[in-house]
Structure 1
């Protein structure tokens, strides 16, 4: 599963929005992430080319199996690190921002080791 940080953020946002909205559109992603619509449009094109998403003629965005796999992995890391940091006394806002940085750079091996350590 190789993708860049920006692509991971977009995929994660699509996954999260899909749990809140009946359909996800580029404008929803733009609003969620606070990015310009033109930037989101370019990103959606790149994600389509990488086969991480599909888009209908009406502009509805759907994750492909590969896109969903990446999104779920990133989201799991985000939630895990947000929760751990909050348990350590970090504010929710800072914990979420820091988790967003950590989720992209940590290896799967290290993440699994940390996750297993905290399960004990």
Structure 2
């Protein structure tokens, strides 16, 4: 039982580091609210875990400003992200998983995989640079292209954007599949409804209109 509890605590800590990395915590401050929304947990739980990560030297926390990864935190997060996203790529490309169904199995596999197996998996997949939901995949030396951290929620009305990547969240990916928004789609931002209402968009390819919920728009990264 104790062994299981230790593993669960380790996994939870790693989930925090991965989501802080994904939200841009390598280069900017990430808020407690962003982490809580992404992991679908209470804000109080975020505060508790962040304090533990600060003590371990993996993140820094500036009150009322946000959380960012330390150099050591970046190294740990890059390794975790590499493992997770390589397995996601394998499951989608080779085993025909749906994108929204891949996260949980990739989570299991990343925790039981040796470095040697990861190197062979990367070579088998021909050294992919991006996972199926658009996130970068660091190589074994920690090299990767910088991700966009501009969210759809920040795109101004009247601007034209291209969907670059999605946060790795099952409910979000299911939602985006339902409304048929994909990586690479180009959209015109028509209107931000007031009081945290939906964002109205138009596909430039065919002129069709759609709307994205306020919360979801925070986890769609665009260029």
User: TM-score of the superposition, structure 2-length normalised?
Assistant: 0.48
Aligned-partner Cα distance in 2 for 1:23–1:63: 9
Instruction: Find the partner of 2:48 among 39, 42, 51.
Output: 42
Hey, which of these two has a bigger chunk of helix by percent? 1
Report whether the alignment pairs 1:58 with 2:64.
yes
SS at match of 1:4: helix
**What is the DSSP-based 3-state SS (H/G/I as helix, E as strand, rest coil) of the residue aligned with 2:121?**
helix
Q: Aligned partners of 1:8, 1:76: CA distance in 2, in Å? A: 12
Secondary structure of the structure 2 residue equivalent to 1:102: helix
Larger deviation, residues 101-110 vs 45-54: 101-110
- What is the number of equivalent residue pairs in this alignment? 117
Q: Greater strand percent: which structure?
A: 2
TM-score using structure 1 length: 0.86
Structure 1 unaligned spans of 5+: none
Task: Point out which structure has higher relative CO (alpha carbons under 8 A, 6+ apart).
Answer: 1
Name the structure 2 match of 1:84: 90
What residue in structure 2 maps to residue 97 of structure 1?
104
Superposed displacement of residue 57, structure 1:
2.7
Whether the aligned pair in 2 keeps the contact of 1:26 and 1:59 (CA below 8 Å) is: no
1:111 is aligned to 118
Bigger CA radius of gyration:
2
